[in-house]
Amino acid sequence: MSAAAMTASIGSDMGRWQPNAAGRLQKAALELYAKRGYEETTVAEIAERAGLTERTFFRHFTDKREVLFRGSHELEGLIVDAVEGAPAAATPIEAIAVGVAAAGAIFDAPSRPHARQRQAVIEANPELQERELVKLASLAAALAEALRRRGVQDPAAELSADAGIAVFRVAFDRWLHDDSGREFAQFVRDGIAELRTVTSG
Amino acid sequence: MSAAAMTASIGSDMGRWQPNAAGRLQKAALELYAKRGYEETTVAEIAERAGLTERTFFRHFTDKREVLFRGSHELEGLIVDAVEGAPAAATPIEAIAVGVAAAGAIFDAPSRPHARQRQAVIEANPELQERELVKLASLAAALAEALRRRGVQDPAAELSADAGIAVFRVAFDRWLHDDSGREFAQFVRDGIAELRTVTSG
C-alpha cells in the first residue's frame, strides 16, 4: 500500500470512528434547532457545526428528527428492565413506580440543560409533539406488557401502565423546571402519592 | 327564469342540501376503508358510493381522514360539558368519571357496528393511530382545563385527567367487544373502581 493510500485509509477510518460523533451531532443539532427552528435546519448544517460530514451524520441517525428521539429507546429499556426487576411482592403500581423512578439514571442534573433545550424544540413543533405522543404510547404499551409478564391481568396492567405514564409526565415536567436539586426519582414518588390521593378522592 | 335554468338551479340546490349527506359519506367511506384499505380509497370513490359528488364531500369534510375523526370534537364537548356540570361537591376523579360516562350518549348500542368498523380501520394504519393519539391528548388537555376551572390545582388536575383517559380507553375497548348489552357508562364505573384498586395497591 502506498503512503497516499494509507493516509486516505486512515482518513476514512477517522471519518468513520470520530470520537463521540453522535453526541457532537446531537449537541450541534439542538443548538441549531433552538436558534433557527427545527424546520429550517438542514443535516448539512448540523454536520458542519459538529465539524463532521453528512455521511457521518447518516451513519448515526436516519434523519434530523431521530436526533431528538434516539434516547427514547434507551429510556424504554431502562424503565422496562426496572419493572421486571422489581421485588416479586410489589403490587402493579409499585412495580411501575420502581420502573419510572429508574429513569432518574438518564434524567440527572448534568442532562437537564440538554433536556430543557430539547423540550423547547418539541413544544414549538406539532409534528415533533406527535412523535413524542407516539413514543409515550409505545412506553405505555411496553410497561403494560412488562406487568403482564409479572402475571398482572388486564385491565390492571393497562391501567397501571397508563397511570405510570401520567406520573412520568408530571414528574418529568417538574424535574425539568426544578432548580432545588431534587432528584427525578423523588418527583416520581411524589407523583405516585398524589395519584393515590386523587384516585381515592 | 327559463325552465331549464330552474331545473339546473333545483339540481344544484339538491346537490347542496342532500339529506344526511355527511352520514351517507361516512358510511360509504368506512365501507370502502374496511374493504379496500384506507390508503387505497379515494374521495371520488367515496362520493360515488354515497351517490353524491366530490364537491358535496368537500362541503362536509376537509379530507378523507376527517371522515374518521369528525366525531371527536363532539365527544370532547360532551365530556367537558359533563365535567363542568358535575356536582360542586364532586372530587376531581368523580367529576372526571361523570364526564367520561357521558360519552355513553355517543357510544350506544346502535353506534357500535360503526365504532367497530372505524376501530379496525384505525388499527390497520399507523398514521391514523397517531391521529387518534393526538385526539386523546387533546381530550386529556381539555379535561385538565375543565378541572382547573372547577378550582382543582395541578398536578391533581393533570393526573385526574390522564387517569380519566386511561379509564376511557379501557371502557371503550370493553364496550367495543361486549355483546352482553351493558352500557358504556357501566364500563366507565367499573374502570374507575379498578383504577382505585390498582392505585391503592
A155: nearest CB among B130, B163, B191: B191
Judged against a pLDDT cut of 90, whether residue B107 lies above it is answered with yes
Region of poorest pLDDT, from A61-70, B13-22, B162-171 = B13-22
| Chain A residues within an 8 Å CB radius of B122 | none
- For residue range A143-167, list pLDDT tens digits in order: 999 999 999 999 999 999 999 999 9
Q: Is A170 on the interface with B (CB under 8 A)?
A: yes
Instruction: Answer yes or no: do B195 and A167 touch at CB < 8 A.
Output: no
Q: Which of B102, B112, B109 is nearest to B75 (CA)?
A: B102
- A13-67 per-position pLDDT tens digit: 444 556 789 999 999 999 999 999 999 999 999 999 999 999 999 999 999 999 9
- Which chain A residue's Cα is nearest to B200? A196
What's residue A19's pLDDT? 72
Chain B hits for A197, CB-CB cut-off 8 Å, are 156
Confidence class for position B15, pLDDT limits 50, 70, 90: very low
Task: Please indicate if any CB of chain B lies within 8 Å of the CB of A178.
Answer: no
The CA distances from residue A127 to A39, A100, A121, B195, in Å, are 10, 25, 11, 32
Q: What is the DSSP string of B125-162?
A: -HHHHHHHHHHHHHHHHHHHHHHHHTTPPTTHHHHHHH
Task: Write down the mean pLDDT value for chain A.
Answer: 90
Asked if the Cβ–Cβ distance from A195 to B197 is below 8 Å, we say no
Q: How confident is the model at residue A70 (pLDDT cuts 50, 70, 90)?
A: confident
B112 vs B137: CA distance, rounded Å: 23
Does A162 contact B155 at a Cβ distance shorter than 8 Å? Answer: no
A196 touches chain B (CB under 8 A): yes
pLDDT value for B172? 97
Express each pLDDT in B27-75 by its tens digit. 999 999 999 999 999 999 999 999 999 999 999 999 999 999 988 889 9
What is the reported pTM? 0.86
Residue A159 CA neighbour count, 13 Å, CB half: 30
Q: What is the average pLDDT across B171-181?
A: 94
A163 vs B contacts (CB less than 8 Å): 162-163, 166, 195, 198-199
Residue B7 has pLDDT above 60, yes or no: no
Query: Quick check: B198 and A93 CB within 8 A?
Result: yes
What is the mean predicted confidence (pLDDT) over A103-111? 93
> What's the pLDDT at A182?
94
Residue A191 — pLDDT band, cuts 50, 70, 90?
very high
Residues of chain A positioned with their CB less than 8 A from the CB of B137: 133
Average pLDDT over residues A65-83: 93
